[in-house]
Amino acid sequence: MGEIPKALREKVHKGLKLLVITGAGISAESGVPTFRGEDGLWKRYRAEDLATPWAFERDPKLVWEWYNWRREIIAKAEPNAGHRAIAEMEALFPNFFLITQNVDGLHRRAGNHKLMEIHGNLWLVRCTREGAVWENHEVPLKEIPPRCGRCGALLRPHVVWFGESLDPENLRLAYQLLKGCEVLLVVGTSGVVQPVASFPWEAKRHGAYVVEVNIEPTPITRISDLFLKGKASEILPVFLNELKDCLLSRSN
């Protein structure tokens, strides 16, 4: 990776307001399959067959077997150098926030706290009758589909399925962050799933400097000010060091 461009260096010197958005690509090197990649989750399944309320209504057992399989994979996964670099960015920049589309919980395990899991978290379950939400780390699940111990109703993963609206409070905060950020770092997303896919355009519209990290170009690349092609676990630690050098050069 070359020297950080002057325009970005100036923003770092002024005290960077950094917003990060991640997708499944950042967890790929932790062994968590992406959605649309070569070994993508959708390759063997179709989104509409599984990650939708209709699929759950039609066949809750099939949907939970898919989540049980993903939970088993994710339980063995560790945060990688890309997750750790983003956790360090939170410590480095007071005005930092992370919006992740991932439901694997790996950013939290890497140490990020200023974090929005905008599509939920697959270690959380929700009672379909009472709406209560709690952590469930059973691997494998003892009962498929699992039921609420209090009322006996079906439990569901506390994630946002296709066709479900995102939490309005999360969306309000997200648009506020997109309006105020000076740099938007977008890592490992195909930029397909709405409304998050439109977030980079929203930040750009408000004057943000957009940095994209991906192994291949995406629809976001054409509005990026800096496209860092490569694996997140390799690119992000180097990018973090360049940011640190920037901060040091400011204080000299």
x/- letters, 2..31, toward ligand BV8 (CB under 6 A): ---------------------xxx--xx--
What is the distance between the terminal CA atoms of the chain, rounded to a whole angstrom?
Answer: 23
Please report whether residue 247 would count as binding ligand BV8 according to CB under 6 A.
no
Taking CA atoms, 44 is separated from 39, 41, 105, 182, 188, in Å, by 9, 6, 23, 39, 21
- Among 107-115, 142-150, 192-200, 202-210, the segment contacting ligand BV8 (CB under 6 A): 192-200
Question: Which burial class, exposed, middle or buried, applies to 140 when counting CB atoms under 10 A from its CB (0-12, 13-18, 19+)?
Answer: exposed
Beta strands at 95-100 and 115-117: parallel, antiparallel or unpaired: parallel
- Among 88-96, 97-105, 132-140, 168-176, the segment contacting ligand BV8 (CB under 6 A): 97-105
Dist CA 48 CA 161 (whole Å) = 9
CA 177 from chain centre, in angstroms, equals: 15
Peptide bond into 195 cis (omega under 30): yes
Q: How many CA atoms lie within 13 Å of 245's alpha carbon, on the beta-carbon side?
A: 11
x/- letters, 127..166, toward ligand BV8 (CB under 6 A): --------------------------------xxxxxxxx
Please report whether residue 217 would count as binding ligand BV8 according to CB under 6 A.
no
Catalytic residue list contains 119 = yes
User: Least distance in Å: CB of 6 to ligand BV8?
Assistant: 26
User: Least distance in Å: CB of 104 to ligand BV8?
Assistant: 9
x/- letters, 28..47, toward ligand BV8 (CB under 6 A): xx----xxxx--x-------
Please report whether residue 121 would count as binding ligand BV8 according to CB under 6 A.
no
Q: How many CA atoms lie within 13 Å of 59's alpha carbon, on the beta-carbon side?
A: 10
Please report whether residue 192 would count as binding ligand BV8 according to CB under 6 A.
yes
Please report whether residue 214 would count as binding ligand BV8 according to CB under 6 A.
yes
What DSSP letter does each residue of 21-67 carry, written as one string?
EE-GGGGGGGT---SSSTT-HHHHS-HHHHSSHHHHHH-HHHHHHHH
User: Least distance in Å: CB of 204 to ligand BV8?
Assistant: 18
> Residues in the site for ligand BV8, rule: CB under 6 A?
23-25, 28-29, 34-37, 40, 51, 101-103, 119, 159-166, 188-190, 192-195, 213-216, 218, 231-232
The residues assigned a catalytic role are 119
